[in-house]
Amino acid sequence: MKNIFRIVSFLEGISYLLLMSLGLYYKYVLNDPSFVKLFGMPHGLLFMLYIILAFLIKKEMQWSNKTLGIVLLGSIIPFGTFYVDWKYLR
């Protein structure tokens, strides 16, 4: 389960960065919201999967509530999922 969470964490982080960089650039600079629509749905699904998996592996990883909070916070901060992988999943 940990390896699945690591993969989802990586993909969620990449999708978030693409949404916040290319998606917002195209939407607000080039007035083309198509990239937000393109990256938005996969990111939303990966985000929900990340949250669900974090709760599911909490016991396996022996995380405290504080650690779980940090892991969950990592999903909304740019590059946060990469920090979580480096700090808590290796």
List, for the chain, all residue ranges whose pLDDT scores fall below the cut of 50. none
- Residues 2-17 as b or e (16 or more Cβ within 10 Å = b): eeebbebbebbbbbbb
- pLDDT recorded at residue 90: 82
Provide CB contacts within 8 A for 62, sequence distance 6+.
none
- pLDDT recorded at residue 53: 96
Name the residue type at position 11: L
- pLDDT recorded at residue 70: 95
- pLDDT recorded at residue 37: 87
- pLDDT recorded at residue 48: 96
- pLDDT recorded at residue 89: 86
